[in-house]
Amino acid sequence: MRKALSLEFYKLRRKYVLPMALLFLTVELVWALIAVSMSFERNRDSAGWEVIVAMLSTMNGLFLPLLSAIVVSRICDMEHKGNTWRLLRSMAVQPGKLYAAKYACAGLIMLGVCLCQLLAIAVFGVQSGYLTSVPLVLLARFLFGTLVTTLVVLALQQWISTVVKNQAFALCLGMLGGFLGMVGDLFPEAARRVFVWAYYTGLSPVTQQYASEKMQFVVREAGPISSAAAVLLAVAALLFLMGRRHASRLEG
């Protein structure tokens, strides 16, 4: 498995996946942190780590589904173009093992993106002058919710990218996911449970509430979020197993 994973990263050396991920991350962070800075300037009494976490959670709903689609599409497209699935039939490499290596490769790339987000949040919060004492527990919960949602999105995207050779379809799904992730909170609760992209805010440790015509940022209890995360992890495992089963039957 380690050798197959190393090979996946080697094959990406000219696919510009990492620069693309860095570009998406930079645009997202600049957009989100400028918005947070403006919010702090307008109302210094509301300045808090919760504002940053809530803003990044919303931005993740827009950017990460599309970035996940691009990463997975680039990783899977090379196998379709080279008829690798068919060639694997005559070699000792198992298609299911290759499928797992691709999922792990995409997951590690997105993990790096999430960790960079976490670092940017901590640095911005301290350097802003409004905040001190980095809340490690809050940031850890934010990282957990983001990663769990991303794992589900990656499993879905990889399955689609493996089944459909035309990667434009997978990219369109990523754009649709970005839209649903951005506006998911506007849907009824029953609908939000169906759209996995809406869980970027659904699993966020911070939510927005209106009281006395003012918006407040409230830290959620960990219990309900943990239950939802457990269900999402089960969904991710199911999507991964179904995709791997399909990959094992491919003949090019």
Q: What is the pLDDT of residues 105-134, one digit of tens each?
A: 999 999 999 999 999 998 888 887 766 788
Residue 209 scores a pLDDT above 80 = no
- As a whole number of angstroms, the distance between CA 251 and CA 151 comes to 27
The model carries a pTM of 0.90
Q: Give how many domains the chain has, as a whole number.
A: 1
Q: What is the pLDDT of residues 33-56, one digit of tens each?
A: 888 888 777 776 666 788 889 999
Query: Any idea how long the chain is?
Result: 252
59 vs 90, more confident: 59
pLDDT at 114: 95
- Expressed as residue numbers, the domain containing 230 is 2-249
Tokens of 31: 């957009």
Residue 90 scores a pLDDT above 60 = no
209 vs 25, more confident: 25
Tokens 């869980």 identify what position? 199
Tell me the average pLDDT across 200-207.
90
- Burial degree of 3 (CB within 10 A; 0-12, 13-18, 19+): exposed
Q: How many Å from the N-terminal Cα to the C-terminal Cα in the chain?
A: 22
- As a whole number of angstroms, the distance between CA 215 and CA 212 comes to 8
- Give bridge partners of residue 210 from the DSSP assignment: 215
Tokens of 128: 């802003």
Residue 251 scores a pLDDT above 60 = no
pLDDT at 211: 64
Q: What is the pLDDT of residues 231-244, one digit of tens each?
A: 999 999 999 999 88
Q: Over the chain, what is the mean pLDDT?
A: 85
Tokens 């691009």 identify what position? 70
- As a whole number of angstroms, the distance between CA 191 and CA 46 comes to 31
Tell me the average pLDDT across 140-165.
93
